[in-house]
Amino acid sequence: MGSSPDRAAGASLIETRSIDYIPDSERHGSLWSQFTLWLAANLQITAIVTGALAVVLGGDVFWSLVALALGQIVGGTVMALHGAQGPQLGLPQMISSRVQFGVFGAVIPIALVCIMYVGFSASGSVLAGQAVAQLLHVDDAIGIALFGLVIIALTIFGYRTIHAVGRIASVVGIFAFIYMFVQLFARHDIGALLDNRHFSLASFLLSMSLSASWQIAFGPYVADYSRYLPRTTSSVATFLAVGLGSVIGAQASMVFGVFAAALAGGQFAHHEVAYIVGLGATGTVAALLFFSIAFGKVTVTTLNAYGSFMSMVTIVSGFRGTRVVSTRSRLIYIVAMVGLSTVIGLLGRHSFLKEFSAFILFLLAFFTPWSAINLVDYYCFTRSRYDVPALSDPNGRYGRWNMTAILIYVIGVAIQMPFISTSFYTGPLVASLGDTDISWIIGLVVPAVLYYVFAKGSFARIPDRLILPKDRSQVQG
């Protein structure tokens, strides 16, 4: 039986918990809400632009669509496997990294996760800001700033509000995308675009990398949004709800982006939002589409802001040995992270497309090894047998630094470097592979095998069951 404070925490409009364990008395939600959240997070303008990059960077329409779909399946599988951990553990994603890396060692991947959140939020705010600016007839900079204020407000409310916004945004996104696809097919010869086929392995793998990296990049925070589900929730059902929502939404957006870029040619860069809306709408309908684009960015940008808050708290709490965060500290974290991403968006808005493509591809090198280690440890060794109190104790079961995992992580990052191909760094082996980037495949497979082999004998840190805090009824004030 849960205590009164527990019930109050579960029913509060403004979330009071952060990285601490969610007791059974506060568990709520449904798998449908998981599906709509991730559908909404992907039916949005940045996913459209990501799909467009497949054509902008040299691919044809037909093979780009095939490659993007394959990448969605591979990356979506990795992402959804992380999401399925949430109900079983009742913990946010990145604090569970302390099981693999140690209480202090987990700071290494978490710090990189924070950079990811800021980068994605910044790039997303540029596109959303364009839509807000068009809708309100103001400068793009004002649109970006206004969008940032909305994100701060929603992030402060937390988990329940984020899921509620996701449900609304999924409906808005579905109607907007149906309209845009109808207009696209009615006004343009899509068959001619599909008939122009010139297969290139380099372009094919590049397109696959775009969608795979898009999905894998959700991995570090996907369990944050499933951790309140009842502990009895099926892992398979959670995997399907999260994965299908994300893959369906992302593929729909990227397909539209591929067609839009193929039709636009050189007109696409720096005018992404205006061009996409202009494909099929003017006047009032155009205004509604600008609104849907801005609103579509609300869900995923709020996820990024909330995730950055959770990650920063995880870093600080690891050294302080506590999971309690005051409301005042929570506000400071959120304002700081959203403010930083907004400033970066304002400064970099004129070179968005090129920089974003480089960012999203290079990002894979740092997150595929973490995903591989986390998933192998959870599904092959620990399952849900975590010692939750020990996650905050540097002298406890998981220790300060797990050098085995840290070394494998470093190897996983380093071994990808010769195979990476981005605008600001190209590895020495890329040319010999026909300019094909296969780094993300190596980054998944090699660390997974190494961790399975070298961590297999380390069973002393694995309890025989899930160990919960004796009394976590108090909530943050």
Confidence of residue 475 (pLDDT cuts 50, 70, 90): very low
Would you state the pLDDT for residue 477? 32
For all residues of the chain together, what is the average pLDDT? Answer: 82
For the ranges 67-71, 93-97, 275-279, 461-465, the one whose mean pLDDT is highest = 67-71
Structural domains in the chain, CATH included, are: 25-454 (1.10.4160.10)
Burial of 191 (0-12, 13-18, 19+ CB in 10 A): exposed
Residue 2 has pLDDT above 60, yes or no: no
pLDDT (0 to 100) of residue 56 = 81
Q: What is the pLDDT of residues 159-193, one digit of tens each?
A: 888 888 889 988 988 888 888 888 888 887 888 88
- Predicted pLDDT of residue 12: 61
* Whole-Å CA distances, 452 to 104, 289, 401, 405: 22, 48, 18, 10
Report pLDDT for 139.
86
Choose among 132, 126, 125: nearest CA to 152.
Answer: 125
Lowest mean pLDDT among 50-64, 303-317, 397-411: 303-317
212 Cβ neighbours under 8 A, 6+ residues apart: 71, 72, 74, 75, 364, 440
In this prediction, residue 415 carries a pLDDT of: 93
pLDDT above 50 (res 4)? no
pLDDT above 90 for 449: yes
Q: Determine phi and psi for 415, rounding to 5 degrees.
A: -70, -15
- How far does CA 225 lie from the centroid of its chain? 11
Highest mean pLDDT among 24-38, 139-153, 240-254, 323-337: 240-254
Label residue 365 by pLDDT band (50, 70, 90).
confident
The mean pLDDT value for 31-45 works out to 91
Round to whole Å and give the CA distance between 152 and 148: 6
- The percent of residues above 90 in pLDDT, for the chain, comes to 23
Mean per-residue pLDDT, 19-35: 88
- What's phi and psi for 451, nearest 5 deg? -70, -40
Joined tokens for residue 288: 């509604």
User: In the prediction, which pLDDT does 191 show?
Assistant: 84
Residues 283, 287, 293, 299, Cα dihedral to 10°: -160
Residue 140: per-residue pLDDT: 83
pLDDT band at 33 (very low <50, low <70, confident <90, very high): very high
pLDDT of 146 over the 60 cut: yes
Rounded CA separation 300/110 (Å)? 19
For 240-263, what is each residue's pLDDT tens digit? 999 999 999 999 999 988 988 888
User: What mean pLDDT do residues 316-323 have?
Assistant: 69
Q: Are 189 and 337 in contact (CB under 8 A)?
A: no
Of 33-47, 200-214, 422-436, give the lowest mean pLDDT range: 422-436
Q: Which of 14-18, 178-182, 443-447 has maximum average pLDDT?
A: 443-447
Flag whether pLDDT at 299 surpasses 50.
Answer: yes
Cα torsion through 118, 123, 128, 130, rounded to 10: 140
Residue 474 pLDDT: 40
Percent of the chain's residues with pLDDT above 70:
84
Q: Which residue has the higher pLDDT, 135 or 339?
A: 339
Q: Which residue, among 370, 324, 66, has the nearest Cα to 221 in the 3D structure?
A: 370
SS3 per residue for the chain: CCCHHHHHHHHCCCCCCCCCCCCHHHCCCCHHHHHHHHHHHHCCHHHHHHHHHHHHCCCCHHHHHHHHHHHHHHHHHHHHHHHCHHHHHCCCCHHHHHHHHCCCCCHHHHHHHHHHHHHHHHHHHHHHHHHHHHHHCCCHHHHHHHHHHHHHHHHHHCHHHHHHHHHHHHHHHHHHHHHHHHHHHHHCCHHHHHHCCCCCHHHHHHHHHHHHHHHHCCCCCHHHHCCCCCCCCCHHHHHHHHHHHHHHHHHHHHHHHHHHHHHHHHHCCCCHHHHHHHCCCCHHHHHHHHHHHHHHHHHHHHHHHHHHHHHHHHHHHHHHCCCCCCHHHHHHHHHHHHHHHHHHHHHHHHHHHHHHHHHHHHHHHHHHHHHHHHHHHHHHHHCCCCECHHHHCCCCCCCCCCHHHHHHHHHHHHCCHHHCECCCCECCCCHHHCCCCCHHHHHHHHHHHHHHHHCCCCCCCCCCCCECCCCCCCCCC
Which H, E and C letters describe 19-79, residue by residue?
CCCCCHHHCCCCHHHHHHHHHHHHCCHHHHHHHHHHHHCCCCHHHHHHHHHHHHHHHHHHH
Answer whether 0.95 is exceeded by the pTM.
no
Q: Average pLDDT for residues 446-462, to the nearest whole number? A: 82
pLDDT at 81 over 90: yes
Report how far residue 350's alpha carbon sits from residue 269's, in angstroms, rounded to the nearest whole number: 10
What mean pLDDT comes out for the span 54-63?
A: 86
pLDDT band at residue 70 under the 50/70/90 scheme:
very high
Contacts of 116 (CB under 8 A, 6+ apart): 217, 220, 363, 366, 367
| 216-246 residue pLDDT tens | 889 888 999 999 999 999 999 999 999 999 9
Q: Which of 61-65, 359-363, 425-429 reaches the highest mean pLDDT? A: 61-65
* pLDDT given for residue 471 in this prediction: 43
